[in-house]
């Protein structure tokens, strides 16, 4: 069968096994095609009473995005739909001072990029159906909302439009051998609790599949993609992420041309927005062709950049940098023979423990190695997550990635504990 036929079989399982089907709609191409297919299936099989969807509005975005959301809410004829305009904490990679920003912040109403929508289905601070604290992260808010929904209406399948070919991180959602909580052992599912289960029905689609589906069935989509195409972007470069997020940084400069009215307000909304709009995708924002002053080594340049950071930001980065170096020196990481050989060829002094890492799930031997010669200046190993270097530290600083996630630094135990406490606190809502 083709990928469209496979989705129809998955939708049948989902609608048969759950009382409710909630689509997480972001206005992007992937979530849009999932919403349209789910709507078509529900109409065809007289199951519209099971279908619902929600949209988390980040306030600052292209007008075409909000126009598409508006069309979807008017065209998708279901009783339960939710337009979330909550003051969440969102990632911001434009500024070294403000690494998060708060859309719909009630204390900054005078500088909102646009007025809050006025529809019966808008959810904001005044009518939020679950306990909400200003500054709750957007990811956590989506979890809280889905769990409130399933608690209120019964067992719920949450449809999420992500695909394995978008990134290795997303691919690992479906391929990790550590996954244990799935619905009927379906690898495109993840059980959240006894009432909530996430499904990824287009996990095996590629970008071309999405656009072929939109064309064949005449589905509506975000017209921002048409403008991206006219601007010369390839279909794999087109992103509708929150504009200040790292993944949207490269396209931020297009705002000035595509949506100049919103751009003027965005410049005054988030610190660093204009800089990101001018230099997004260049070495100034930390892309790999970055150059250093000739009189600096990469370590010296990293120390210079760290010295320019605000105190709180500097403290955070130094903490994670120390964690990274200590882990490589004392604990080590699992690497396959080809990577170990490449690291040695770069002149990196390694201690091979010959212990096999239990964290690696690929069909290969991953021996735990430790770096004994300190972090190298630079390497020809392109993958930032495989081998650290001081040049890569410089790049992450310029990306305003002060938690070093670009270099695969994981959450701390305290951060994971805080997350677990939050999920436990709200799981029964």
Distance of alpha carbon 354 from alpha carbon 249, whole angstroms: 41
248, two tokens: 């949207």
pLDDT in tens, the chain (429 residues): 999 999 999 999 999 999 999 999 999 999 999 999 999 999 999 999 999 999 999 888 888 899 999 999 999 999 999 999 999 988 765 544 456 788 899 998 988 888 999 999 999 999 999 999 999 999 999 999 999 999 999 999 999 999 988 877 777 777 776 667 889 989 899 999 999 999 999 999 999 999 999 999 999 999 989 888 877 778 887 777 666 554 444 555 565 556 556 555 555 455 443 333 333 444 333 445 677 788 889 999 889 888 877 788 888 889 999 999 999 999 999 998 999 999 999 999 999 999 988 776 666 788 999 999 999 999 888 776 788 999 888 888 777 677 887 777 765 555 555 555 665 665 555
pTM of the model: 0.67
pLDDT score at 284: 38
- 364-to-132, 178, 187, 334 alpha-carbon distances in Å: 45, 16, 21, 11
Q: Is residue 412 classed as helix, strand or coil in its secondary structure?
A: coil
Give the position of tokens 């735990």: 368
Give the position of tokens 């996430």: 198
Instruction: Encode 259-268: b = buried (16+ Cβ within 10 Å), e = exposed.
Output: beebbeebbe
Instruction: Encode 144-169: b = buried (16+ Cβ within 10 Å), e = exposed.
Output: bbbbbbbbeeeebbbbbbbbbeeeee
The most distant pair of C-alpha atoms in the chain lies apart, rounded to whole Å, by 71
- The CATH code of domain 3-218 reads 3.40.50.620
Domain with CATH 3.40.50.620 in the chain: 3-218
Give the position of tokens 């095609």: 33
Distance of alpha carbon 386 from alpha carbon 366, whole angstroms: 12
Distance of alpha carbon 100 from alpha carbon 107, whole angstroms: 15
Distance of alpha carbon 59 from alpha carbon 101, whole angstroms: 11
Sign of torsion over alpha carbons 235, 240, 246, 247: negative
**409 within 8 A of 318, measured Cβ to Cβ:** no
- 206-to-4, 7, 30, 32 alpha-carbon distances in Å: 12, 13, 10, 14
Phi, psi at 187, each rounded to 5°: -70, -15
pLDDT score at 155: 96
Give the total residue count for the chain: 429
**134 within 8 A of 87, measured Cβ to Cβ:** yes
């Amino acid at each position: 069968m083709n990928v469209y036929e496979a989705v129809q079989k998955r939708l049948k399982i989902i609608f048969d096994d759950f009382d409710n089907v909630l689509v997480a709609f972001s206005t992007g191409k992937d979530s849009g095609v999932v919403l349209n297919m789910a709507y078509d299936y529900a109409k065809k099989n007289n199951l519209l009473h099971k279908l619902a969807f929600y949209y988390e509005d980040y306030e600052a975005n292209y007008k075409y995005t909000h126009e598409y959301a508006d069309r979807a809410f008017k065209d998708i004829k279901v009783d339960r739909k939710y337009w979330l305009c909550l003051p969440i904490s969102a990632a911001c990679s434009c500024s070294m001072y403000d690494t998060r920003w708060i859309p719909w912040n009630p204390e900054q109403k005078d500088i909102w990029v646009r007025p809050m929508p006025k529809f019966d289905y808008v959810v904001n601070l005044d009518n939020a159906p679950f306990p909400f604290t200003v500054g709750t992260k957007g990811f956590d808010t989506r979890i809280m909302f889905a769990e409130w929904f399933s608690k209120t209406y019964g067992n719920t399948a949450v449809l999420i439009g992500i695909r394995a070919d978008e990134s290795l991180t997303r691919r690992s959602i479906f391929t990790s051998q550590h996954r244990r909580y799935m619905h009927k052992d379906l690898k495109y599912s993840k059980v959240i609790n006894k009432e909530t289960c996430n499904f990824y029905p287009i996990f095996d689609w590629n970008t071309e599949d999405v656009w072929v589906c939109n064309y064949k069935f005449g589905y509506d989509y975000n017209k921002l993609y048409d403008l991206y195409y006219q601007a010369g972007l390839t279909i794999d470069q087109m992103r509708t992420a929150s504009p200040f997020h790292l993944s949207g940084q490269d396209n931020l400069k297009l705002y000035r041309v595509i949506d100049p009215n919103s751009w003027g307000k965005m410049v005054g909304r988030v610190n660093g927005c204009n800089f990101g709009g001018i230099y997004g995708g260049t070495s100034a924002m930390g892309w790999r062709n970055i150059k250093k002053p000739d009189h600096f080594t990469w370590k010296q340049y990293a120390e210079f950049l760290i010295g320019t950071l605000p105190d709180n930001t500097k403290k955070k980065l130094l903490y994670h940098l120390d964690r990274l170096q200590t882990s490589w020196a004392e604990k080590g990481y699992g690497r396959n023979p080809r990577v170990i050989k490449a690291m040695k060829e770069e002149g990196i002094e390694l201690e091979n423990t010959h212990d096999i890492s239990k964290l690696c799930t690929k069909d290969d031997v991953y021996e735990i190695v430790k770096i004994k010669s300190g972090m190298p200046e630079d390497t020809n190993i392109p993958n930032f997550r495989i081998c650290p270097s001081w040049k890569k530290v410089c790049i992450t600083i310029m990306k305003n990635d002060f938690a070093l996630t670009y270099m695969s630094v994981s959450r701390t135990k305290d951060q994971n504990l805080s997350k677990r406490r939050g999920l436990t606190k709200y799981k029964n809502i």
